[in-house]
Chain A
Amino acid sequence: MINIILLGFLAVVAIAVAMMRDLFAIVMLFGIYSLLTAGIFVSLDAVDVAFTEAAVGAGISTILILSTLALTSREEKQPTHSFLLPLLVVLVTGATLVYGTLDMPAFSDPEAPVHQHVAPHYLNQAEQETGVPNIVTAVLASYRSYDTMGEVTVIFTAGIAVLLLLSAFRHHEDEASNLNDLSHHPVLRYIARLMIPFILLFALYVQFHGDYGPGGGFQAGVIFAAGFILYGLVVGIDKTRQMFSESKLHWLMASGLLLYIGVGIVSLLLGGEFLNYNVFAADPLKGQHWGIFLVELGVGITVTATMISVFLAFSEVRRSE
């Protein structure tokens, strides 16, 4: 029931996004859309995903798009060409997809084919094989760790690409930056300073408690980065930059990924397969524990460093043409 209502809200917000012309309002609506999505994820039992979506969608990506708007323009021009053809294309595609769903198993049917393949193995064996009660963490960091390594590499590469694209427009050190600067705002500053230690502490909790509860490197990384982005917004970009110099961030970005790959190589050298953690200790469970811990740490470091350096790169772009 609550699901149906939330989904209805989502549809309404999506239509509003499509209809509106004021980009600033659209970005705000998109933040609401992400938050609603996070709510739906919770009601569909995906707590880890909801976590990530709330931190990423309602926090980081909203800030990134807002920074882009500050650097470009806020109003959208009326499109000149007709909207009939796109509408027709969309309707035909949609009708085809709806026709396709008629063959799909009913929603939340326990007998659906998706639940028959590897999922029962994960659910029944994961705790004995990896010693991690949170199956999502076990699958992410142990069973499918190749996959996760690829994802971390993608994040790292995207971060590098953003830095390369924007580095040509960085303003000089002496130029005063007033973009996103709320340092004249005493109340906000005070409250933010009060909250930031708790946000960082919570990120650490999410990072290191990810084996037992919802959490892990990806979530912790985005929460940690969100804490520092808040710091950057209220205290000023320059002060944040003093804390994280460019070279330090680049080093961190790479070292997280290298830690991940290093864990794989060490497991090779110890005679196991790439990223097989069982060989790290005499007791396979202990080995798994160490492997998952290190890999999640690598993920956390890379995600945090990438998000912070992307945010700083956006904030340091010169506004003048």
Chain B
Amino acid sequence: MWDILVSYCSDALLITGSFLSLTFAIGLLRFPDFYTRMHAAGVSDTLCAGLIVLGLVLQAGISLVTLKLLFILLFLWFTSPTASFALARAAHRAGYRVSEQEEVASSNS
């Protein structure tokens, strides 16, 4: 009974993670300018990776593998926001600004 519950939970986490990462990938392609795309990529890095790793942790049970997976998660949560930040900052320094459309929309409202 317990096993089945855990395996369902893990499946749910994996599927949610994969689905979200697919939507973020679409967002990455469809969003209008650099910063909104960055946003899609950055969020998928932490959220989807988190969900998928947690799903795998549930499948692995309590073992050394689980510990390693949790370490991977920890490192991902440290490094991927840093990478997103560095990328956004570099873009800002290079002179990329929020797209025209966005500015027009905000000035109209």
Contact = CB atoms under 8 A, between A and B. Distances in A.
Q: Do chains A and B touch in the complex (CB under 8 A)?
A: yes
A188 interface: yes
- Name A's interface SS: helix
Range, interface on chain A: under 10
Determine which residue in B75, B79, B82, B89 has the highest number of CB atoms from chain A within 10 A of its CB, and name it: B82
B95 to A, nearest CB: 16
B96 interface: no
A171 B86 CA distance: 28
Contacts of A185: 86, 89
Nearest to A199: B75
B85 A194 contact: no
Interface string A187-202: 1100100110010000
A187 B85 contact: yes
B8 interface: no
Question: Which secondary structure dominates where chain B touches chain A?
Answer: helix
Question: How many of chain B's residues touch chain A, expressed as a range?
Answer: under 10
B78 interface: yes
Contacts of B89: 185
Contacts of A188: 82, 85-86
A195 B80 CA distance: 12
Contacts of A194: 78
B56 to A, nearest CB: 14
Nearest to B89: A185
Interface string A170-213: 00000000000000010110010011001000000000000000
A187 B79 contact: no
B86 A195 contact: no
Interface string B46-90: 000000000000000000000000000001001100100110010
Query: Closest 6 interchain pairs by CB?
Result: A191-B82, A188-B86, A187-B85, A191-B78, A187-B82, A188-B82
Interface of A: 185, 187-188, 191, 194-195, 198
Given A191-B78, A194-B78, 11 more contacts: A185-B86, A185-B89, A187-B82, A187-B85, A188-B82, A188-B86, A191-B79, A191-B82, A195-B75, A195-B78, A195-B79
